[in-house]
């Protein structure tokens, strides 16, 4: 048994786990505000702000900024799909299930539905990971993009049939397109920073099984 292979596999799994948790908790940080000097609107009217004079002891009340909403790609989904498609051993199914279910709970989505769809798609890609190694990147991108499109539409229309509140179809499609377009960037960062790439032809694991 090659200890270096075992060590790299466990390092990859821990890295994947912490990256997934990091993506989830980064969404909970209030980074979506813009100060008034950059175009944001003050929540406290300017007339109510106390001027600071030489005789004033108490500081003026803080002027808060209005939140600015913007649509971002689903980085957690991209992380899962990119790592499963290229290094399935780094993304165990148990970790994927736990991280996606946690994201449902933290983002106040109906628990389990999106997690189940992501898990199904990731397992389909895992089963085809070996055959996808010889594919050009464009075909890999199309395959992953088709899967993202399918689970996004299933999720949206399922919630619609159940009369569950959700973003409009237009916003959902915009995020889906941005997510698909961001896949090459996630693949590049995964390779350049974390060394996640397709296994070389003939590569084997610690038990002698083909990767």
Both 12 and 54 in one domain: the answer is no
Q: What is the pLDDT of residue 59?
A: 52
What Å distances lie between residue 14 and 28, 41, 81, 170, CA to CA? 22, 42, 16, 36
More confident residue, 3 or 123: 123
Q: Which domain holds residue 37?
A: 33-68
Both 149 and 46 in one domain: the answer is no
Predicted confidence (pLDDT) per residue in 139-173, tens digit: 999 999 999 999 999 999 999 999 998 889 999 99
Is residue 110 included in any domain, yes or no? yes
Both 50 and 149 in one domain: the answer is no
Both 163 and 184 in one domain: the answer is yes
Q: With pLDDT > 90 as the criterion, what percentage of the chain qualifies?
A: 61
Give yes or no for residue 177 having a pLDDT over 80.
yes
Give yes or no for residue 124 having a pLDDT over 60.
yes
Domain count, the chain: 2
Both 10 and 95 in one domain: the answer is yes
Is residue 142 included in any domain, yes or no? yes
79, 100 in Cβ contact below 8 A? no
Both 139 and 100 in one domain: the answer is yes
Q: What is the pLDDT of residue 182?
A: 98
Q: What is the pLDDT of residue 186?
A: 97
Both 139 and 170 in one domain: the answer is yes
Both 57 and 80 in one domain: the answer is no
Predicted confidence (pLDDT) per residue in 27-85, tens digit: 887 655 444 444 444 444 444 444 444 444 455 454 444 444 568 899 999 999 999 99
116, 98 in Cβ contact below 8 A? no
Q: What is the pLDDT of residue 53?
A: 45
| Integer Cα distance of 97 and 24 in angstroms | 14
Is residue 186 included in any domain, yes or no? yes
Both 48 and 9 in one domain: the answer is no
Is residue 211 included in any domain, yes or no? no
Is residue 203 included in any domain, yes or no? no
Is residue 208 included in any domain, yes or no? no
pTM, full prediction: 0.79
What is the 3-class SS of 15-30, one letter each residue?
HHHHHHHHHHHHCCCC
Is residue 98 included in any domain, yes or no? yes
């Amino acid at each position: 048994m090659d200890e270096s292979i075992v060590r790299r596999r466990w390092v990859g799994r821990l890295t994947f786990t912490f990256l997934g948790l990091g993506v989830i908790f980064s969404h909970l940080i209030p980074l979506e505000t813009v100060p008034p000097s950059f175009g944001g609107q003050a929540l406290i009217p300017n007339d109510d702000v106390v001027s600071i004079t030489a005789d004033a002891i108490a500081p003026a009340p803080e002027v808060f900024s209005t939140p600015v909403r913007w649509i971002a790609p689903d980085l957690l989904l991209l992380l899962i799909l990119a790592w499963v498609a290229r290094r399935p051993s780094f993304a165990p199914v148990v970790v994927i299930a736990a991280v996606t279910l946690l994201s449902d709970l933290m983002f106040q989505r109906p628990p389990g539905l999106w997690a189940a769809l992501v898990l199904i798609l990731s397992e389909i890609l895992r089963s085809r990971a070996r055959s996808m190694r010889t594919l050009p990147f464009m075909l890999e991108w199309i395959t992953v993009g088709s899967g993202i499109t399918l689970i996004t539409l299933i999720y949206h229309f399922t919630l619609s049939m159940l009369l569950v509140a959700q973003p409009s179809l237009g916003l959902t499609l915009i995020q889906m397109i941005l997510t698909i377009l961001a896949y090459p960037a996630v693949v590049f960062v995964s390779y350049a920073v974390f060394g996640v790439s397709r296994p070389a032809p003939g590569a084997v694991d610690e038990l002698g099984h083909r990767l």
